[in-house]
Amino acid sequence: MLGNENEQRPTFLLVDGMALLFRAFYGTAVTGQFMINSKGVPTNAVQGFLKHMLTATNHFNPSHVAVCWDMGSHTFRNELFDGYKANRSDAPVEMIPQFDLAKEAVQAFDIPNIGLAGFEADDCIGTIAKVSAKDSRVSILTGDQDMLQLLDEHISVVLLKKGFGNYDVHNPDSFYEWKGIKPRQMIDLKALMGDTADNYPGVKGIGEKTALKLLMEYESIEGILENLSSLTKGQRTKIEAELEMLHLSRKLAEIKCDVPISCPLDDAYFQYDDEKVRYMLETHEFRSVLRML
């Protein structure tokens, strides 16, 4: 019965715009292939982003699509912790004109661009995914494993692998088989082990292996703290020394799913005007994408 219900639901692909754009940029930038057009504008990130997005729409055939973006680097997480993402350098100069260009390209496909100042794309994706999952099957296209905390019965996460069209598709069952914990426990996992990419430490000296073992045994940070006396002396000492950072790291790790934005399903219906898209691609000389149409 559930299978039939799933078949009848619309399929909504939520695209993590920044994850795809940066992935595409660094995939070609290392060899200096910025694909500068006749106007002097680099297009490597946007072309790679569009190829990732269109390969996925061809592969998964969603009925609805939306793209979520970060809107500036400062978010509520920086208010909580000064060091949040402080290790990241400014975007390369070749990347800067491509942020607006990517949104313009998405708009040409009549796909909504979504973002809200003060929040990350992850928070927008989490909010829209949770609301949309009531009526549709949601897939999140990203390269970011943080999104795995959002998995549930009607939300899957499509992780990009190397190249184009190679994916690891996860649902709660496959995630449990892989990590041995439930998706929501991913938040506590990151709180314990920290995140070098986002620059918060978690509990110094506790890596993924120990964090997973503790969560398998005690389920949550609360469960671990209630059973401190059962931990090894080393584990107990490390956790007690970093209690404040542990709780803060959990706040930083959790994707907010109550951001004041919305994306009604009707707005994201995936159907574009071929002529309008070709005009945009030709104007900006997106030759590698034109070949895909």
Task: Note whether residue 98 is domain-resident.
Answer: yes
pLDDT at 1 over 70: no
Percentage of the chain lying above the pLDDT 90 cut: 93
For 89, half-sphere exposure in the C-beta direction (CA atoms, 13 angstrom radius) is: 4
Does residue 267 sit in the same domain as residue 140? yes
Does residue 58 sit in the same domain as residue 134? yes
Higher-pLDDT residue of 5, 135: 135
* Per-residue pLDDT band at 73 (split at 50, 70, 90): confident
Does residue 275 sit in the same domain as residue 156? yes
Which residues have C-beta within 8 Å of that of residue 100, sequence separation ≥ 6?
A: none
**Please, are residues 16 and 73 in contact by the beta-carbon 8 Å criterion?**
no
Provide the domain count of the chain.
2
Task: Note whether residue 134 is domain-resident.
Answer: yes
Percentage of the chain lying above the pLDDT 70 cut: 98
**Please, are residues 151 and 172 in contact by the beta-carbon 8 Å criterion?**
yes
Does residue 67 sit in the same domain as residue 199? no
Tell me if the pTM is above 0.85.
yes
Task: Note whether residue 13 is domain-resident.
Answer: yes
Does residue 165 sit in the same domain as residue 61? yes
Task: Note whether residue 205 is domain-resident.
Answer: yes
Burial of 181 (0-12, 13-18, 19+ CB in 10 A): middle
Task: Note whether residue 112 is domain-resident.
Answer: yes
Which pLDDT tens digit goes with each residue over 20-50?
999 999 998 888 889 999 999 999 999 999 9
Structure confidence at residue 2 (pLDDT): 42
Q: What mean pLDDT is predicted for residues 273-287?
A: 97
Q: What mean pLDDT is predicted for residues 68-86?
A: 95
Task: Note whether residue 234 is domain-resident.
Answer: yes
Which pLDDT tens digit goes with each residue over 182-236?
999 999 999 999 999 999 999 999 999 999 999 999 999 999 999 999 999 999 9
Task: Note whether residue 290 is domain-resident.
Answer: no
Cα angle vertex 191, ends 187, 195, to 5°? 100
Q: What mean pLDDT is predicted for residues 255-284?
A: 97
The mean predicted confidence, pLDDT, of the chain is 95
Task: Note whether residue 288 is domain-resident.
Answer: no
Does residue 245 sit in the same domain as residue 263? no
Does residue 153 sit in the same domain as residue 273? yes
Which of 187, 140, 127 is CA-nearest to residue 19? 140
Does residue 137 sit in the same domain as residue 206? no
Does residue 159 sit in the same domain as residue 207? no
Does residue 10 sit in the same domain as residue 44? yes
Does residue 169 sit in the same domain as residue 32? yes
Does residue 189 sit in the same domain as residue 86? no
Query: In which domain, by residue range, is 232 found?
Result: 185-253
Structure confidence at residue 220 (pLDDT): 98
CATH code (residue 14) = 3.40.50.1010
